[in-house]
């Protein structure tokens, strides 16, 4: 039963509960009209303490397409946060006005603290360099639509695997599935954090390699998950400049990939995928962004107990 629950981390729901969300998302894609009044009278609040395009707009579009309404801020200085109000007081106040809330925050754990202060559903829309579980829902739905299932696949992750919360959430989620294998492509300084290596991949016996070149592996990868080197997470601008252009996927590199290697990216991109790759049918990152809206529609319906 997902009604009233919060989603903060990919381990919050069981495989069966995630299955319910994906099945509903596939149904929404087939017949969106059927759901167009499902959330009439309901309000979604979006509390974004960090910039966003896809996550915020897709949540807002999701609620509007379900017939509900939205309130929120994308600039915390326009709210009483700028006067020093705590996360806990802010979310308790929002609970007075809305039925469900989505929060993005630069501090790891902030959405969890918020969810523990209230009894309505709170969704983590990204907390610092930690987790981004609804991006994972977006990624998995996209993979299911491209290859039918996510088991027995080779996943390549490339770029900033240290600070990339989308990578951490996706690895955590996929590690529960049979036959998955990871190829982790990054400079040594941007490898996955220790807890991802030890507490997730090694604990769950997921085979993985950590490498510094993508070309030798492109032919065996089912999904290549590209990521941006995130300037905002670096303490030192020199390190960012040194590492930012290390991996650029272009048409030449795509020639090493198999015809069935799909390219995903949570976006935004800077230059890690050349725009010339966008017309390749294996480039699926804009479809992925669109799928994010459908899976968030399903999540809202489940957490509100409407479906």
Each residue of 34-64: b (16+ CB within 10 Å) or e?
Answer: ebeebbeebbbbbbbbbebebbbebbbbbbb
By beta-carbon proximity to ligand CP, the closer residue of 207 and 268 is 268
Does the footprint of ligand CP cover residue 53 (CB under 6 A)? yes
Of the residues 38, 135, 142, 230, which one makes contact with ligand CP according to CB under 6 A: 135
Does residue 124 interact with ligand CP by CB under 6 A?
A: no
Provide the 10 A C-beta neighbour count for residue 91: 24
Q: Which of 52, 136, 227, 230 binds ligand CP (CB under 6 A)?
A: 52
Q: Report, in Å, the least distance between residue 165 CB and ligand CP.
A: 8
* Catalytic residue of the set 46, 55, 166, 261: 55
In the complex with ligand CP, which residue's Cβ is closer, 52 or 261? Answer: 52
Does position 268 interact with ligand CP (CB under 6 A)? The reply is yes
The strand order across the sheet containing 181-185 reads 208-211, 181-185, 154-158, 223-226, 262-264
Closest by Cα among 144, 142, 135 to 170 = 135
Query: Are 101 and 76 spatial neighbours (Cβ–Cβ below 8 Å)?
Result: no
Exactly one of 42, 56, 65, 104 is catalytic; name it. 104
83 is catalytic: yes
Q: Is the CB of 217 or the CB of 285 nearer to ligand CP?
A: 285
Binding-site residue total for ligand CP (CB under 6 A)? 9
Question: What distance in Å separates the CA atoms of residue 237 and residue 235, rounded to the nearest whole number?
Answer: 7
Q: Please, which residue, 63 or 267, has the CB nearer to ligand CP?
A: 267
Is 104 known to be catalytic?
Answer: yes
Q: Which stretch binds ligand CP (CB under 6 A): 7-15, 48-56, 63-71, 215-223?
A: 48-56
| Contact residues for 230 (Cβ-Cβ < 8 A; gap 6+) | 129, 160, 163, 164
Q: Is the Cβ of residue 4 or residue 268 nearer to ligand CP in the bound state?
A: 268
State yes or no: is 132 an active-site residue: yes
Is 65 a binding residue for ligand CP by CB under 6 A? The answer is no
Site for ligand CP in 165-224 (CB under 6 A): none
User: Has 37 been annotated as catalytic?
Assistant: no
Q: Does residue 54 bind ligand CP (CB under 6 A)?
A: yes
Annotation says 56 is catalytic: no
Taking alpha carbons only, the member of 169, 209, 214, 216 closest to residue 191 is 209
| Binding span for ligand CP by CB under 6 A among 49-57, 88-96, 207-215, 233-241 | 49-57
Taking CB under 6 A as the criterion, the residue among 150, 267, 300, 303 binding ligand CP is 267
The smaller minimum CB distance to ligand CP, of residues 104 and 307, is found at: 104
Sort 248 into a burial class: Cβ within 10 Å, 0-12 / 13-18 / 19+: middle
Query: Looking at 54, 65, 112, 168, which residue is catalytic?
Result: 54
Q: Which residues are at the interface with ligand CP (CB under 6 A)?
A: 52-55, 126, 135, 266-268
Catalytic machinery residues:
54-55, 83, 104, 132
């Amino acid at each position: 039963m997902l009604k009233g629950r919060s989603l903060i981390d990919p381990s919050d729901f069981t495989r069966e509960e995630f299955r319910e969300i994906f099945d509903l998302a596939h149904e929404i894609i087939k017949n969106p009209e059927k759901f167009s009044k499902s959330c009439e009278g309901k309000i979604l609040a979006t509390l974004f303490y960090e910039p966003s395009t896809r996550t915020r707009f897709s949540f807002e579009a999701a609620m509007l397409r379900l017939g509900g309404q939205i309130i929120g801020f994308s600039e915390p200085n326009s709210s009483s946060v700028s006067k020093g109000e705590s996360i806990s007081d802010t979310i308790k106040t929002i609970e007075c006005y809305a039925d469900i809330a989505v929060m993005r925050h630069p501090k790891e754990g902030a959405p969890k603290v918020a969810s523990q202060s209230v009894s309505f559903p709170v969704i983590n829309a990204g907390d610092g360099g930690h987790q981004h579980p609804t991006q994972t829902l977006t990624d998995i739905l996209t993979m299911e639509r491209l290859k039918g299932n996510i088991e027995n696949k080779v996943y390549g992750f490339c770029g900033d695997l240290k600070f990339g919360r989308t990578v951490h959430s996706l690895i955590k989620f996929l590690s529960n599935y049979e036959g998955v294998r990871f190829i982790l492509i990054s400079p040594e300084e941007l490898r996955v954090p220790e807890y991802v290596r030890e507490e997730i991949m090694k604990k769950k016996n997921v085979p993985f390699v950590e490498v510094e070149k993508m070309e030798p592996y492109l032919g065996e990868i089912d999904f290549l998950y590209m990521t941006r080197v995130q300037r905002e997470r670096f303490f030192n601008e020199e390190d960012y400049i040194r590492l930012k252009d290390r991996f650029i996927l272009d048409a030449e590199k795509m020639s090493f990939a198999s015809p069935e290697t799909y390219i995903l990216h949570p976006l935004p991109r800077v230059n890690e995928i050349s725009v010339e790759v966008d017309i390749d049918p294996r480039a699926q990152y804009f479809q992925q962004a669109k799928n994010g809206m459908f899976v968030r529609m399903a999540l809202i319906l489940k957490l509100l107990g409407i479906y």
